[in-house]
Chains A and B, each alone.
Chain A
């Protein structure tokens, strides 16, 4: 069963590609550290997207070639970046005013768990160790759309989309759309609403690996992504 499921799944790059298709021209976007950063690579041609990083840069570009890093010019993941024409620097209070103040069009984050209520758990497994939250709890508030990209299930095959999160919450009722390895799902009025699913997969098979009821509201499109 797991092998069959794995064969249908999108790779992380393909999930990132799918999420990138929904970022409109002119959008101000924050991509969370790690997996979400990959989305920038798949930005469709002809669209201008302005990326925000919490540590005080708007309008940054790709990583510089190795050896040409300037360590005063990094992103929230502490990786070296470059500037695009028209970029801006600002301090941390202004940076989070952009976040909480509703000035970003989109924030994309990773997830341990997402609930049908829009609750997100992505900062702590709750198992001890050193707690670290960074900007995660701020980023879930204020952006017009808060999207999650994630595998549909855990490495053990357990659902990550649930009725209620069991891990410590990052935010309550904050996620608006989830891009998974098997589906694209909106969160509306406390429900998961299925928008796209892998064409090889039946609705029932998808429901079986989802920890809360999937609702259908209109057509469910095929989730088809290029080989990457």
Chain B
């Protein structure tokens, strides 16, 4: 078995117009900038994107949105140091937004990957974000029903990967990446280094390869924060 792919372009080939794409990361940490830029080059449109945020500056997710490839964003916090790309499109009514509390977003993705179609959470009970959702009482407290979230494709960032798709992460860049890896029909991981099978201690594997379809090596990944400090714009 060899899930390694030789180029970013090959890794994102076959993502169709209208696809739902989960993109890992929390702000810039764990954001697969190079995979997102490859998706911009590939050019599919009318995407629904699931991410915690809505991009920052003019690189990564913000650039994908700026290119007009995203019709709808599902996120918890569409604000950042420089959120102008998303904000202007949203206020002009040109992009749809579904706001989800951060923990609910994480759990909906986890549920999607775990085959759990719905669950109850205390989060958002009694607020406008619970409007229209079923409510039930358990042991004297009220909870809101939330549904799973799945995707056609997940673009994630990891540290080490092997040909079987086993992954490790680097510090807080883990965040949504292991959850999204579980919840997509096709999971594409960019990793800083591909090591041979056996090169990752099984005790250290965070995402087992069963959740991963493609692994592409990006040896010196760029950080959104660093790119924005340089004033970078993609493409």
Measuring CB to CB, which residues of chain A are less than 8 angstroms from any residue of chain B? 53-57, 69-74, 78, 89-93, 95-96, 99-100, 119, 129-138, 141-142, 168-172
Knowing A91-B174, A91-B176, A100-B123 touch, does A134 contact B107 (C-beta < 8 A)?
A: no
> B122 to A93, Cβ gap below 8 A?
no
> B103 to A171, Cβ gap below 8 A?
no
> B28 to A71, Cβ gap below 8 A?
yes
Q: Which residues of B contact A170 (CB under 8 A)?
A: 127
> B129 to A137, Cβ gap below 8 A?
yes
> B179 to A71, Cβ gap below 8 A?
no
Bound complex: CA A81 to CA B102 (Å): 21
Bound complex: CA A78 to CA B83 (Å): 14
Residues of B in contact (CB 8 Å), total: 53
Knowing A56-B172, A90-B174, A91-B174 touch, does A137 contact B78 (C-beta < 8 A)?
A: no
Q: Which of B87, B172, B179, B206 contacts A72 (CB 8 A)?
A: B172
What 8 new A-B contacts, CB under 8 Å, besides A71-B225, A91-B175? Answer: A57-B171, A69-B225, A72-B171, A73-B172, A89-B172, A91-B179, A95-B103, A96-B107
Q: Which residues of A contact B126 (CB under 8 A)?
A: 119, 169, 171-172
Q: Which residues of B contact A89 (CB under 8 A)?
A: 169, 171-172, 174
B204 beta carbon closer than 8 Å to chain A: no
Nearest chain A CB to B60 CB, angstrom units: 12
Q: Which residues of A contact B178 (CB under 8 A)?
A: 91
Q: Which residues of B contact A169 (CB under 8 A)?
A: 126-128
> A99 to B29, Cβ gap below 8 A?
no
Bound complex: CA A132 to CA B101 (Å): 9
Report B98-115 residues with CB < 8 Å from chain A CB. Answer: 99-107, 109-110
Nearest chain B CB to A114 CB, angstrom units: 15
Closest residue on chain A to residue B182 by CB atoms: A93
B30 beta carbon closer than 8 Å to chain A: yes
Bound complex: CA A92 to CA B102 (Å): 9
Knowing A131-B97, A132-B77, A136-B101 touch, does A92 contact B176 (C-beta < 8 A)?
A: yes
Knowing A91-B176, A92-B179, A169-B127 touch, does A133 contact B106 (C-beta < 8 A)?
A: no
B121 beta carbon closer than 8 Å to chain A: yes
Q: Which residues of A contact B103 (CB under 8 A)?
A: 54, 92, 95-96, 99-100, 135, 137-138
Residue in A71, A92, A119 with the greatest tally of chain B CB atoms within 10 Å: A92
> B106 to A137, Cβ gap below 8 A?
no
> A133 to B101, Cβ gap below 8 A?
yes
Q: Which residues of B contact A132 (CB under 8 A)?
A: 76-79, 99
Q: Which of B79, B122, B128 contacts A130 (CB 8 A)?
A: B79
Cβ contacts B70-89/A at 8 Å (1 or 0 each): 00000011111101001100
9 contacts between A and B (CB under 8 A): A53-B172, A55-B172, A69-B225, A71-B223, A132-B79, A132-B99, A138-B102, A141-B122, A169-B126
Cβ contacts B193-214/A at 8 Å (1 or 0 each): 0000000000000100000000
- 3 closest cross-chain pairs (CB), A and B: A96-B103, A138-B103, A172-B126
B173 beta carbon closer than 8 Å to chain A: yes
Bound complex: CA A215 to CA B128 (Å): 30
B91 beta carbon closer than 8 Å to chain A: yes
Nearest chain B CB to A123 CB, angstrom units: 8
> B171 to A70, Cβ gap below 8 A?
yes
Residue in A73, A91, A136, A170 with the greatest tally of chain B CB atoms within 10 Å: A91
Q: Which residues of B contact A119 (CB under 8 A)?
A: 126
B226 beta carbon closer than 8 Å to chain A: yes
Bound complex: CA A92 to CA B83 (Å): 23
Cβ contacts B112-138/A at 8 Å (1 or 0 each): 000000000111111111000000000
Bound complex: CA A172 to CA B144 (Å): 13
> B123 to A131, Cβ gap below 8 A?
no
